[in-house]
Every structure is written in C-alpha cells, then in structure tokens.
Amino acid sequence: MPFKSDLRWSEVTPKSLFFNRRQIMAGAAGALVSPILAGRAAAAGFSTDEAPNTLEEISTYNNYYEFGYSKEEPSTKAQALTIDPWSVEIGGMVDKPGTYDLSDVLAGMTIEERIYRFRCVEAWSMVIPWQGFELSGLLNKVGVQPSAKFVAFETLYRPEEMPGQQGGSFPYPYVEGVRLDEAMNPLTILATGLYDEELPKQNGAPLRLVVPWKYGFKSIKAIVKITLTDVMPPTTWNILAANEYGFYANVNPGVDHPRWSQASERPIGGGLFAGRKDTVLFNGYGEQVASLYAGQDLTVDY
C-alpha cells in the first residue's frame, strides 16, 4: 500500500511562508547590495518579475476543449471532474514503468513557485505564478533509458465528466509531446498549483505540463500518461491542422500562424486600452533554450 499523504498541495508552500521568503530575499538583497544588483539577481532566476495576472483572470479564461470551446465554460464545467484518486501511467523507455499514484509521482519532488510568461498561439498572453516541480526530477526518478528521445503525454479521457469528449470531431484524448532535451530543461515543469492554491480544475488539475517558451497548447492538462519513446509522438493540434501547428510550437514572432500574425500579443488583464506588445522569440526564454535548437531551421520546425 503506497503512502498517501492527506496534506493538500496548497500546504506544500504556505502562503505566509512564500510571501515571507520573497520579502526576506528582497530585504536581504536590498540590505546587502545595490538595488541594481538585486534586480539582476531576480532576472537570473527562473521566475519573471513581471506582475502576475489575477487568479480570477487565470482561472476564468481557459482553452480546455474537454469542457467546451469558450474561454469561460471550463471554469464552471470542470468543477465536476474527479481528480482524487489520480494516477499517472509512466511507461515506454523507462527503468521503472508502472501506474503511479499521484502521491508517488510527487514524492521527493521539490514544489516551488515559478512565475512564467504564458503565450497562447491565439496571440494573447498572461503571467502566471505556477507551483510545480521540474519534469526532469520525475524523469530521473523513473529512469530514462538511453534510447529515449521524446516524451509523450496524454490527457484524461473520461467523457462522463468531460462533456466536450461526448461526440464531436475532436480526436480525444488530447496528446502532446516534447523532445527529451526540452523535457529535461529546468524551465519545464509539471504544475500542481497556482498562487498558493491547488491548481484549479480548469487549469489542468491535478497535474499539467508547463513549457513557457512554447505556445500554450503544448502545456497539456490533466496528465494521466507519460511515455518515453524514440519516435516523435503525434500531437493533437498537429493532427488537426499540420500546416498551422507544428510539433515544436516555439513562441516565434517571425513565424506567423497562417491565419494571424504572431508578431505581437495582447496581454490579458490590462483592460480595454492595454493594446499589444511585441512577442519575443522563445517567449523571452532564449537565454535558457535557444541552444536546444542550434542548427534547426525554426521556419521549418515550427
């Protein structure tokens, strides 16, 4: 019988603690070094110092077609989803394949806050304070075999709780994948929370991928299956429209979606007159990830 904690994820990093931590860090930095140096120190971490969107914005504006095509539907329709118990089937080219209870997936993982920019392929963006752990930690735990080159993910298929899966032409379950080096990059996390709360169901609870330099649709929600493989796995939007959505889907202002420009984006939360801002290659994470694509033509591998 595997150990099952009755702690809530929200208790992993209590609000008071992480706010304190940030205050202490800021205070210490301010006391010891000049403000300029403190600013640089913050930029060197994984989190952005941009102001995050509100929990309300993040949890009422979702693309989660399993719960409807509109942005608002998931926030109500996802509430009926059962996320406890939850298990994840980890298989393929791994040393320790098996069906892991969520608590076993989380065991030994360090949950931390990552404030990431989030850029949707529809040309809007948010800043989201995720709670999560590095995917590499989990992959190392289950042991990746040398032949593995890609990581494939699958979302829950449960039509009785996911009304969008009842009929329609969308090929469920939703599947996604990344290359192994992308999966092992420290920016790539599996998220379990938002702010200091459990991850809302409409945001992909209990476990979702977050790859902040790629368009949001890569960051697959409600993961039930992780497979290590040596062939590029099929991905849902690529299956639906290969000329519009590539496997890589790196944020790239220079490669337009055939039907709209990716040169700029509308930040959500700025109100009516917020306008647009320029989109940055790799969503501004080029320093950490550009080297992954050395020698690749990003207009071909879009």
Pairing of strands 264-267, 124-134: parallel
Shortest reach from residue 57's CB to another protein, in Å: 4
Asked whether position 153 contacts another protein by CB under 8 A, the answer is: no
Shorter beta-carbon distance to another protein: residue 65 or 248: 65
> Which residue's structure tokens are 């032949």?
147
Pairing of strands 197-198, 277-278: unpaired
Asked whether position 46 contacts another protein by CB under 8 A, the answer is: no
Q: How far is CA 251 from CA 1, 27, 71, 161, 168, in A?
A: 43, 35, 21, 32, 29
Q: Residue 6: CB partners within 8 Å, gap ≥ 6?
A: none
The first and second tokens of residue 90, run together, are: 């980890």
Asked whether position 271 contacts another protein by CB under 8 A, the answer is: yes
Asked whether position 19 contacts another protein by CB under 8 A, the answer is: no
SS3 197: strand
Asked whether position 67 contacts another protein by CB under 8 A, the answer is: no
The residue from 52, 113, 269, 279 that contacts another protein (CB under 8 A) is 269
Shortest reach from residue 55's CB to another protein, in Å: 11
| Neighbour-count burial of 282, counting CB atoms closer than 10 A to its CB (0-12 exposed, 13-18 middle, 19+ buried) | buried
In the range 100-139, which residues lie near another protein by CB under 8 A?
Answer: 121-122, 124
Phi-psi region of 143 (alpha: psi -120 to 50; beta: other; left: phi over 0): left
Q: Which of 112, 158, 151, 118 is nearest to 132 (CA)?
A: 112
Asked whether position 260 contacts another protein by CB under 8 A, the answer is: yes
Asked whether position 73 contacts another protein by CB under 8 A, the answer is: no
Shorter beta-carbon distance to another protein: residue 161 or 244: 244
Could you tell me if 229 and 203 are in contact, meaning their C-beta atoms sit under 8 angstroms apart?
no
Binding range to another protein, per CB under 8 A, among 6-14, 27-35, 154-162, 268-276: 268-276
Asked whether position 253 contacts another protein by CB under 8 A, the answer is: no
The residue from 49, 56, 95, 301 that contacts another protein (CB under 8 A) is 56
Shorter beta-carbon distance to another protein: residue 91 or 267: 267
Phi, psi of 60 (to 5 degrees): -125, 5
Q: Which of 102, 97, 88 is nearest to 2 (CA)?
A: 102
Asked whether position 71 contacts another protein by CB under 8 A, the answer is: yes
Asked whether position 60 contacts another protein by CB under 8 A, the answer is: yes
Asked whether position 69 contacts another protein by CB under 8 A, the answer is: yes
Measured distance CA(52)–CA(127) in Å, rounded? 5
Shortest reach from residue 70's CB to another protein, in Å: 9
Shortest reach from residue 77's CB to another protein, in Å: 15
Shortest reach from residue 268's CB to another protein, in Å: 5
Shortest reach from residue 298's CB to another protein, in Å: 20
The count of C-alpha atoms lying within 13 angstroms of the C-alpha of 25, restricted to the half-sphere facing its C-beta, is 12
In the range 162-181, which residues lie near another protein by CB under 8 A?
Answer: 170
Interaction site with another protein (CB under 8 A): 53, 56-57, 60-61, 65, 69, 71-72, 121-122, 124, 170, 237, 256, 259-261, 263-264, 266, 268-269, 271-276
